[in-house]
Chain A
Amino acid sequence: MNRPCQKRILIGEDDQSILKMTTLRLEHEGYAVVTATNGEEVLHQVKEAPSVDLILIDIKMPRLNGYQVCQQLKSQPDTAGIPVIIFSASESQLQHLANRCIEVGASDWIKKPFRTKDLLEKIHRAFGEEGNGDV
């Protein structure tokens, strides 16, 4: 198994089962995982754990949605550089979704239900393009 020097990933997802499964998978792949179940908690966790290397967030979350969280992260100089991948179950307007993700500064997005290999591919790509390699 490839353990890429314990990079830290923050997952913001209000569905407990997806949160649990994704956490187990990422830990199995060698990442350290921090979790949050709403938008405000994601922002709080980023402040508390500044060494977060990547953030995965769902669009539909209580309090602050994924887009709003992403916008706030990108507006702060100390968090603007953290790559963000957005989860979405929305199918009907994929082009709109893609445009919106670019607009709020997300690195990528993935459609639910996603296959683990697809998510890992996007995570590797985000680190490859934007990760600083520090842990």
Chain B
Amino acid sequence: MSVKRLQRLEILLAGLVTVAIFAGAVSTWWLWDVSRRVPYGVWVAASLMISLMVTSAGLVVLSRVLGQLRRLESAIRQMHATNRLLTIPDANYPNVKDVVLALNDLVAAIESRQQRQHERLVELEQAKAVFDQLQEYQEGFLETINHQVRTPLTSITEGIELLRDGAVGTISHEQGDIIHMLDQNAQRLEQLVEEALDLSLMTSGRRPLYRKPDNVQELLRQVVAAWATTSQQRIVTEFSAELPLVYMDSSAIRDVMDHVMRNALRHAPERSQITVGARGSNETAIEIWVQDQGPGMSSEQLAKLFLPFVHVHTPYAPGSQGSGLGLALCRQIIERHHGTIHATSQPGHGMVVAFTLPLASPAFLFAEACRDAREDAEYGRGRYGVVLATGADDPGSLAEAERALREHTHEGDRFVWLSPDLLAIVAVTDRLGLEAMTRRLRDVLGQAHLNVRLASAIFPEDGESPARLLEIARSRFHENGQGARNE
């Protein structure tokens, strides 16, 4: 109830109180028959005066209470209008005073919370400034490595090769030895620069991965063949029966294998055996491992193995031969493939470095397409949609439909075959866009006389997980029934 309404109520109450007291006084006179002692006129005047005095006193009290309530209301409205917290003026009357004290306590608590939030915000802004600065340093580092280090390195390696090849005259045996040493060191420097750059690009996410379903067995055979020609150890393979396709950037995984092989060969004795193996780890991943017969490592050494700039010394590799970055880079690459990498060893029993890669199963590819779409959607309206297509009677028509659908969708839309009769299209769009897209694709299929049904679901309204979106879209095939059929 507002104070203005209370004002009207106050006048009404005052009138009623006056009338009630006056009526009471007159009734008393009448009932108790006091007229003999007090004349009627005096009694009426006295009654009227008393009732007016009581009413006036009541009105004074009421108006003061209302005045304090008005100040309270005004302070609250001012806070609302200015969006700033104010201390409400103190009040005399006990109940109003309690309300004012409670409100002032609330204001103080909110102010204190706001202050803490402000302090946290300042801390966050400072942290962001530091982060931005670090990113700038990283950019500067990459730029320096790129141009200021690699360019002179080009000249050094070129010059060494020209001398070695006798392009500027014949060289003596001793000169040849020095040139060979220069060449070895230039190669080490080149490897260090490449690995530092790769690690920076991989860590910052600036190196894109081009992942696709690929044959890891073939890649491992190539790696083994390449290393077998240069290593003094015997390299054997141990693959389980035909391995399923994995989802990988084969060039990046080739780098991983090269680093893991280099590490194994460095720590293993000559003429020992290196085993390269692969097997299904579980239903969603395969495991690839490289086992050596070296002296192994302690648990302390293993704990540091995948950290950058760490050199692990063993009897066969006592010096700092590598850059100390290779296995750290491997970890980055494998983690960006949603895999894991680890090493196991016991001193004296060699070491196994093993990593997993996800199988290119339809469920994984669909989840990956949804994950990518969700990341892309973050730059827009935060929505992506799934359109499912199924060949109602003839699954063969779906393959034909895919060509038509690809022609009428955007380049960035992701197509995933979930089963021979179910094709999913994952597209970054909002609900209206998804509905328009589905209608357009239905028209396209109808014009091509393809008996293919479509159903769709949108993230996140219809479901937050890829599995839920799939379930909802599938259920709509049944809901839509014949309505979704293109005839």
Contacts and interface: CB of A to CB of B under 8 A. Distances in A.
A24 interface: yes
A113 interface: yes
Contacts of B201: 91-92
Interface string A89-124: 111100100000000000000001111100000000
A92 B208 contact: no
B162 A113 contact: no
A78 interface: no
A15 interface: yes
Contact of B167 (A25, A89, A95): A25
B227 to A, nearest CB: 20
A112 B190 CA distance: 11
A95 B157 contact: no
Contact of B158 (A18, A27, A60, A90): A18
A17 B152 contact: yes
B146 A116 contact: no
Contact of A21 (B142, B159, B206, B208): B159
A15 B197 CA distance: 22
Interface in B124-169: 142, 146-147, 150-155, 157-159, 161-162, 165, 167-168
A25 B151 contact: no
Interface string A25-62: 10110000000000000000000000000000000100
Contacts of B142: 91-92
Contact of A89 (B151, B157, B165): B151
Q: Which of B150, B153, B168, B201 has the most CB of A within 10 A?
A: B150
A21 B146 contact: no
A18 B154 contact: yes
A22 interface: yes
Nearest to A22: B158
A92 B146 CA distance: 9
Interface in B155-210: 155, 157-159, 161-162, 165, 167-168, 190, 197, 201, 206, 208
A89 B148 CA distance: 9
Contacts of B208: 95
A89 B150 contact: yes
Interface of B: 142, 146-147, 150-155, 157-159, 161-162, 165, 167-168, 190, 197, 201, 206, 208
8 contacts: A15-B151, A17-B155, A21-B158, A28-B162, A89-B147, A89-B151, A92-B206, A113-B158
Interface of A: 15, 17-18, 20-22, 24-25, 27-28, 60, 89-92, 95, 112-116
